Amino acid sequence: MGTNKEESAKQYVERVIHTVKERSPNEPEFYQAVEEIAYSLVPVFEKHPHYIKHAVLERMTEPDRMITFRVAWMDDEGVIHVNRGYRVQFNNAIGPYKGGLRFDPSVNASIIKFLGFEQIFKNSLTGQAIGAGKGGADFNPKGKSDMEIMRFTQSYMNELSKYIGPNVDVPAGDIGVGGREIDYMVGQYKRLRGAFEKGAFTGKGIDVGGSWMRQESTGYGTVYFAKRMLEDQDKSLEGQRVIVSGAGKVSIYAMEKAIELGAKVIACSDSSGYIFDEAGLDVEKIKQLKEVENKRISEYTKFNSNTTFDNEESIWTIPCDVALPCATQNELDENNARALIENGVSVIAEGANMPCTHDAILAFQESDVAFGPGKAANAGGVAVSALEMAQNSSRVSWSFEAIDQMLQDIMTDIYDKSKNAAQEYGQEGNLIAGANIAGFKKVADVMIAQGII
């Protein structure tokens, strides 16, 4: 796709988006991510036309490679199943491809590409030497036995192992992929390679080279980012009413850190509905229910009679000061956003990847509600993954406290870079634009320096 010297920066962006849609039909999540990022870069292209000359956006929106493969496996009854596996290696300008693996029935090419594209900017913002990738399979791990999980992950790794390595592509966990699944993959990868390449994965168990604070990192990082947003409003987390969607590890550890910093978490949810208690929820009980007993969030009401469970209304109808969407993409729409605004919310920080729809984000921005986009607010997970890679490379292990301090410093730096970039390009207060611009410029400059490849 060539460039036209007569076109404006906006026309250039629209042409790139049009080409993306032509080349990748029926991929709405990917289009959503590309459009959100590309339009925010118009001021950059106006100020620095050499990015257009070097076709950086065209190259950045086309992944280096998209890998799809068959994953055949046998369940405990001897029945053979076939799933589809994915890995997109999007951009390795600043380091090896890096991004999680998601096992969920919703996984398809569009979702994997949207996540991988967002990862370019998120990983760039961390300041670490990591490129961008994402992967997974349309496999549902819920209800599966340990042996079924093991057989599936081993089959998945039989194919993926050809494309990854410590200096090539370093996967981690995501939805449906935790420490158990990563450890199974590490074992099969070691078996196939005939060598123990400790740095080929992150999110490993501590005894096989994992890092402290890996499971807490995304949730903690989201709260640290929200804390900085509040500080710019001359507020602290102390006494703030917080609602958190989801009840997975991001949500649980966001709740844990928010409570530790003095906030009151009054609601959280899972796919069945939400629980609410104005006096505040007990995160340790939620951990027991979700992480140990694997029960529905509604079971919490048996522990505390003052807590209500609702499976009809949205969690976003609850009045709060801070909202942390931590469940999944596009979970918070315009109607939800307007309910939050009407009820006085002051900060939204995305713990999940793209949980707010485009119209919801516009509503927040029009109402001057501070909005922290996922590529910035939830970058704590990949930041600590990069710290795990650093520990593996140097064969050392840092303490929980040391990593927590590094994470706080990284999240503060991400916030400051996003805020300053937005201000520099005439979009003060717009952290979405700021995060996109700061993340883009670092990768774009390196891409230009490395030539047309």
Length of the chain: 453
The long-range contacts involving 277-286, CB below 8 angstroms and separated by at least 24 positions, are 277/304, 277/306, 277/307, 277/308, 279/306, 281/255, 281/307, 283/252, 283/255, 283/256, 283/259, 286/247, 286/252, 286/255
Show the DSSP H helices in 26-145 as ranges.
28-40, 42-47, 50-53, 56-61, 109-125
Show the DSSP H helices in 330-399 as ranges.
334-342, 358-366, 374-377, 380-394
Question: Which amino acid, residue 172?
Answer: A
Q: What is the largest CA-CA distance in the chain?
A: 68
Q: CA 182 → CA 73, 103, 178, distances in Å? A: 17, 12, 6
Helices 109-125 and 380-394, axial angle in degrees (round to 10)? 70
Q: 345: which DSSP letter?
A: -
Q: 356: which DSSP letter?
A: B
Which residue in the list 98, 113, 122, 134 is annotated as catalytic? 134
| Assigned token pair, 10 | 């906006």
For this structure, is 287 an active site residue? no
Query: What CA–CA distance (Å, rounded) separates 350 from 372?
Result: 6
Q: In what order do the strands lie in the sheet with 264-270?
A: 308-310, 273-276, 264-270, 241-245, 322-325, 347-349, 370-372
Residues labelled catalytic: 134
